[in-house]
């Protein structure tokens, strides 16, 4: 009877559809299709409740020594293609118990793997000079990304999926240009995420103005010291003054002219009402839709919010890409890769 009681307790703990008959030592399994399967307890040696055959070994070698060894990987993340023709993404790393992509930032290393449809669930796919299979290493310090590398001198990946239990197998052997070697033997049911792009933490800005030049490099970094409020025609105008962090006494200014109805919620310049929004910083001069022949921003977002406690919040990310619509013919698309970011929470004079 001890065996019978043990079986009954184990079954009841794992699934309500497994139950026992105390009268004749039977164990009864009710299947999802409504059928019942009965077994005599005396005929049962062992019950396996379908545990997954999970293993997840990760080894990282540097300078001929093991610098990190994971005997059991806590989480493997997978991102399905967002549209046809896009790659499937995988992500894992050395952080303990990450419950999201952001959780991987806690470790020293994370790895992102992108596989095209032709490379996915295939054997010995090359990782060198192969756009269909790209492995990237991310290095973090105190949660901040300090380095990335996709420079691999040798390596392959083999991937497969168990269609019954949805477990993924990832066998990777890769050597990076700096000598680091990654070896994985991962067999695990992955956690689904929308994208692995968050392996690169988003830029975090505080009261500052940051300008990125034509090459995408940060060339101006300034602290916003003052914001003033005025009017321009039927719009509210905010003027920013920011002092360079590299050269004392050098200031930069920018203006935002905005309809009050846009206060409170984030917006895309493309979606705002006509003649309700203008933005200017140096050579970047863009607007929302308008009939004033102004440059209509193609890649710009913003937020203006009165916090109700004497402070305001401004968040603008504006790229100098725009179109001009003269009301006839095809609108002219033009601009440059220049970009400016303005983040500020504080007093407005």
Q: What is the pLDDT of residue 108?
A: 92
At CB < 8 A and 24+ separation, what contacts does 324-332 make?
324/293, 324/294, 324/295, 324/296, 325/296, 326/293, 327/291, 331/296
Is the predicted pLDDT of residue 41 greater than 70, yes or no? no
pLDDT value at 11 more than 90: no
C-alpha R_g of the chain: 29
φ and ψ at 41, to 5 degrees?
-55, -35
Rounded to an integer, what distance in angstroms lies between the CA atom of residue 316 and that of residue 300? 7
Per-residue pLDDT tens over the stretch 150-195: 999 999 999 999 998 899 999 999 999 999 999 999 999 999 999 9
Q: Residue for token digits 């005929």?
A: 43
What torsion do the CA atoms of 227, 233, 235, 240 make, to the nearest 10 degrees?
Answer: -20
Q: Given a cut of 80, is residue 8 above it in pLDDT?
A: no
pLDDT tens track for 115-149: 999 999 999 999 999 999 999 999 999 888 999 99
3-state secondary structure of 27: strand
Q: State residue 18's pLDDT score.
A: 44
Q: Tell whether the model's pLDDT for residue 205 goes beyond 90.
A: no
DSSP H helices in the chain = 2-14
Please name which of 50, 73, 81, 86 lies closest in space to residue 169, comparing C-alpha atoms.
Answer: 73
Mean of all residue pLDDT scores within the chain: 86
57: CB partners within 8 A, 6+ apart: 70, 71, 72, 73, 183, 184, 185, 186
Four-point Cα dihedral 17, 20, 26, 27, nearest 10: 30
CB 76 within 8 A of CB 52: no
Of the listed ranges 3-7, 178-182, 241-245, 342-346, the least confidently predicted one is 3-7
In this predicted model, what pLDDT tens digit does every residue of 209-222 receive, in sequence order?
999 999 999 999 99
User: Comparing 19-23, 41-45, 158-162, which segment has the lowest mean pLDDT?
Assistant: 19-23
Residue 3 banded pLDDT, cuts 50, 70, 90: very low
Distance CA 302, CA 55 (A): 46
Q: What is the pLDDT of residue 14?
A: 40
Phi, psi of 120 (to 5 degrees): -70, 135
pTM, two decimal places: 0.55
Three-state DSSP class for residue 269: helix
Q: What share of the chain is helix, strand, coil (3-state, %, to 5)?
A: 10, 50, 40
Least confidently predicted of 2-11, 48-57, 298-307: 2-11
pLDDT given for residue 15 in this prediction = 40
Is pLDDT above 80 for 44?
no
**pLDDT > 50? residue 20:** no
Please write the tens of the pLDDT for every residue from 31-40.
656 677 776 7
Band of residue 246 on the pLDDT scale cut at 50, 70, 90: confident
CA-to-CA separations, 21 to 32, 40, 46, 48, in angstroms, rounded: 19, 10, 18, 20
């Amino acid at each position: 009877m001890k065996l019978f009681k043990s079986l009954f307790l184990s079954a009841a703990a794992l699934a309500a559809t497994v139950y026992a008959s105390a009268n004749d030592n039977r164990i009864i399994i009710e299947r999802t299709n409504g059928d019942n399967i009965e077994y005599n307890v005396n005929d049962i040696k062992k019950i396996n409740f379908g545990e997954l055959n999970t293993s997840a070994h990760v080894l990282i070698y540097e300078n001929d020594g093991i610098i990190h060894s994971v005997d059991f990987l806590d989480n493997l993340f997978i991102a399905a293609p967002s549209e046809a023709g896009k790659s499937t993404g995988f992500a894992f790393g050395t952080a303990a118990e990450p419950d999201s992509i952001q959780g991987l930032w806690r470790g020293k290393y994370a790895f992102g793997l992108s596989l095209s449809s032709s490379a996915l669930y295939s054997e010995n796919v090359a990782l060198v000079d192969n756009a269909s299979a790209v492995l990237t290493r991310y290095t973090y310090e105190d949660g901040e990304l300090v380095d990335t590398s996709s420079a691999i001198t040798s390596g392959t990946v083999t991937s497969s999926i168990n269609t019954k239990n949805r477990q993924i197998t990832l066998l990777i052997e890769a050597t990076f240009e700096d000598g680091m070697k990654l070896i994985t033997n991962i067999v695990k049911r992955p956690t689904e995420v929308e994208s692995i792009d968050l392996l690169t933490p988003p830029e975090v800005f505080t009261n500052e103005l940051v300008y990125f030049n034509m090459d995408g490099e940060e060339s101006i970094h300034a602290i916003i010291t003052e914001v003033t409020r005025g009017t321009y025609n039927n719009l509210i105008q905010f003027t920013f003054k920011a002092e360079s962090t590299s050269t004392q006494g050098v200031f930069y200014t920018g203006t935002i002219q905005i309809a009050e109805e846009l206060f409170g919620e984030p917006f895309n310049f493309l979606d705002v009402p006509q003649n309700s929004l203008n933005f200017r910083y140096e050579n970047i001069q863009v607007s929302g839709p308008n009939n004033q022949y102004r440059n209509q921003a193609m890649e710009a977002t913003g937020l203006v919010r009165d916090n109700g406690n004497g402070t305001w919040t401004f968040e603008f990310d504006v790229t100098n890409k725009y179109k001009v619509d003269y009301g006839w013919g095809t609108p002219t698309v033009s601009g440059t890769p220049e970009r400016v970011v303005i983040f500020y929470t504080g007093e407005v004079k």
